[in-house]
Structure formats: structure tokens, C-alpha cells
Amino acid sequence: MLFVIVLTQYIVHSQYHEIGIFIGGANYVGDVGSSNYIFPENPGLGLIYKWNRTTRYSLRANLMYTSIKKSDYNPNDFARFMRRYRFENSILEFSTGAEINFVDFNLHGSDKLLTPYLFLGVGYIKYDLFYHDPNTLENIDYAKGSNISLPMIIGLKANISPILILGMEIGARYTFSDNLDGSYPKSDAGVPNGNEFGNINNNDWYVFTGLTISFTFGDLPCYCKE
């Protein structure tokens, strides 16, 4: 028992951690407004934590927030322009997964390093539920919703100093919902029938684009002591 306690304490204190923030923008892709996949038109903020297991991969957790706004007043799609729907929805996301570095990223070396990276994971999102009144064009809120998202992030990061890492990333989220924009409220209780619209075979996406700033802390991990 004593050996297990000592070993646990050694593992905890022999890892290297990062905590930081995401600052940038976000956009949604769905049945309202333009369908640009990377168009950070709404502010996006987040908190990031990483547990660096080796020079090649880390376990990462994200807490992200954005308030997406979208409007059909877009001359690139005349049918949507004539429909004139618009909405605003707040999205709060918690996600976790693995971040993989394409190049060895040893945080304790004296050299300045630069590496592309890929993050894959799973997320849980909370958002507002509403539907569009076709007569008044108003959004009618009726509940809070939650669902699963699949984040896929690509980025580039560099160690500016032994304790500071800067990055730039684009992260698309595929959601298991087609109702971030109020286009498919059919299955929700208390919503009048006939208020669904758009392509019911495609779920909604949202994308975060921006900068990450993280600070390292903790003792040297095992991979740096070899």
C-alpha cells in the first residue's frame, strides 16, 4: 500500500502541465445565413488545460464559449435572403481528447521549437432552444438544449520561453444537433408543428478560429530525464 502511494505521488509530480486561454472568433454553419466554413464573425473565448505525456502527445481539455449570430440577409443566397430569418444563440462547450504534435516538442530544451498539431476528441455542448415564427419572423425561446460535439482542431504552436507557449488554431465542431439555428424543433415538446426548415439531413457545425496563450508549470516529466 505504501508503495502505491509513493508511486502515485511520483507520477503526479513528474508530469508537465499547461494552462491557458483561447482568444478569437467563431462562426456557425447551418441552415441560416451564409455557409462559409471559416468566417470568425462572432467573439469566441476559452480556457485550455494540457497534460503533456510525451514530446509528441498531450491530454487536453477545453472550456469554450461563443454567442453566434446569423442572418439570412446575405446576397449570395437569394432564397435565404427572401426568407429573412435571423437568430442568436449562446454555445457553451466542454471537450476533452488528445493533442498530437507532428514534431517533437520538448518544453525543457533551450531551443525555440515550432510544430503543427492535431486535436481530436469529444465534447458536450449546451445551447438555447427556440423556433422561428414564420409570421412575425421572431425567435421564440422555449428551453435549454444539450448534445454531443466532435471537435477537430489543427494548429501551429511555438515555445516563446520556457514557460510561455503561443499558438494559432482552427477548430471545427460537428454537432449531433440540427437545431442550433432553430431549424428543426419538430422533436421538441411544446413546439407547434410545421416550423422546421432547411436540410434536415445535415447537422449543424461551428468553428473556432484564434490564438492560444498558455503557461507551463510542474516538474520535469519522465521523457525529459532520459
Q: Which contacts (CB < 8 Å, 24+ apart) does range 136-143 have?
A: 137/84, 137/85, 137/86, 139/86, 139/87, 139/88, 139/182, 142/188, 142/190, 142/191, 143/188, 143/190
Choice between 189 and 14, residue whose per-residue pLDDT is larger: 189
- List the chain domain ranges: 16-224
Closest CA to 214 of 94, 109, 56, 58: 58
Span 53-70, pLDDT tens digits: 999 999 999 999 999 998
Give the pLDDT confidence score for residue 6 in this predicted structure. Answer: 38
Dihedral (Cα; 97, 65, 68, 168), 10-degree rounding: -60
Q: Is the pLDDT of residue 175 over 50?
A: yes
CATH architecture of 16-224: Beta Barrel (2.40)
